[in-house]
Amino acid sequence: MTFLTSLRAGLATASLSLFALPALAGEDLKIVASFSILGDMVEQVVGDHAEVTTIVGPDADAHVYQPSVADAKAVAEADIVFVNGLGFETWSDTLIAESGTEASVHVATKGVKEVKVEGEVDPHAWNSLLNGIVYVQNVADVMAEADPDHADVYAKNAEAYIAELKALDTETREKLAELPADRRTVVTAHDAFGYLADAYGMTFLAPVGIDTEAEPSAKDLAVLIEQLKKDGAAALFVENITSPALINQIADETGIAIGGRLFSDALSERGGPATSYLAMFQHNLGALLTALENNSAS
């Protein structure tokens, strides 16, 4: 059974429970966010004044995600839906349309300056803290309009959160400024860090493009391995949403050490090092800086 078939069947069965009862006055707004990083940003802004549901959860790959009937029900019941946009959620338009929701849909990347990787728009805009600030402000603006009674709360929450993101951005720039410009190259599993590279003057190489569904050709992989043998890199990094097989192969053939794991498209499960957007960035930058500093000292 295809996703659309199961989705329609599930919604038909649940239609009375979904639409027969209107929201009661004074109830918290119901918000759906497309993936875990965006969901955390929304939660930071709304606090206790809205109910936030995330479709693609921690350690899950939104590129290849297949929404469930439960996801469609959540969207159908939502008042507001936030998506990343930039082509990240290839499934979201279908999910929203088939759910029959009357929710307002908002693109969190509105106003972000797009970065392209090999001619394609990179959707991973959150991997710049300054872009993260754009996301947060967009969410706060939407919430102020949707729930004017709590507009001041949303504005204060966003202001405090943005101050934290700005502080980490400043700290990152100061630390990276101490590193030689030609010793800032790392390798990741897929091209998820174009915005981070652009923001902080780093170079990220990857055997796979911006979409994890793609697979590198034997020729492309061989070219990358030869490039790394010649020019080197500070470290290789596996990602929480992809198999480590390609990175392990590159490590075996180049002798470059694996510097750890980065969180690219999703937060970590509870108990992990990246359970929030801020913690994710702190973890990733800490791992990257450690690898780059060790490489510069060698």
How does pLDDT run across 9-33, given as a tens digit for each residue?
A: 554 444 433 333 334 445 789 999 9
Residue 139 in this model has a pLDDT that exceeds 60: yes
> CA-to-CA distance for 60 and 56, rounded, in angstroms?
6
Domain ranges of the chain: 3-169, 178-297
Helix (H, G, I), strand (E, B) or coil at 185: strand
Look at residue 8 in the predicted model and tell me its pLDDT. Answer: 54
Average pLDDT score over residue span 68-74: 97
| Single-letter residue type at 11 | L
Average pLDDT score over residue span 69-97: 97
pLDDT (tens digit, 9 = 90+) per residue, 151-165?
999 999 999 999 999
Look at residue 122 in the predicted model and tell me its pLDDT. Answer: 96
pLDDT (tens digit, 9 = 90+) per residue, 172-192?
899 888 888 888 899 999 999
What is the overall mean pLDDT for the chain?
90
Look at residue 95 in the predicted model and tell me its pLDDT. Answer: 97
Look at residue 298 in the predicted model and tell me its pLDDT. Answer: 61
Residue 99 in this model has a pLDDT that exceeds 50: yes
CATH of domain 3-169: 3.40.50.1980
Residue 3 in this model has a pLDDT that exceeds 80: no
| Integer CA distances (angstroms), 293 to 22, 116, 156, 263, in order | 57, 28, 37, 20
Average pLDDT score over residue span 115-133: 95
Average pLDDT score over residue span 232-257: 94
Percentage of the chain beyond pLDDT 90 is 77
Percentage of the chain beyond pLDDT 70 is 90
Look at residue 26 in the predicted model and tell me its pLDDT. Answer: 58
Q: Domain 178-297 adopts which CATH fold?
A: Rossmann fold (3.40.50)
Instruction: Assess whether the region 3-169 and the region 178-297 belong to the same CATH fold.
Output: yes
> CA-to-CA distance for 41 and 53, rounded, in angstroms?
12
Cβ pair 292, 286 in contact under 8 A: no
CB burial of 157-196 (b: ≥16 within 10 Å; e: otherwise) equals bbeebbeebeebbeebeebbeebeeebbbbbbbbbbbbbb
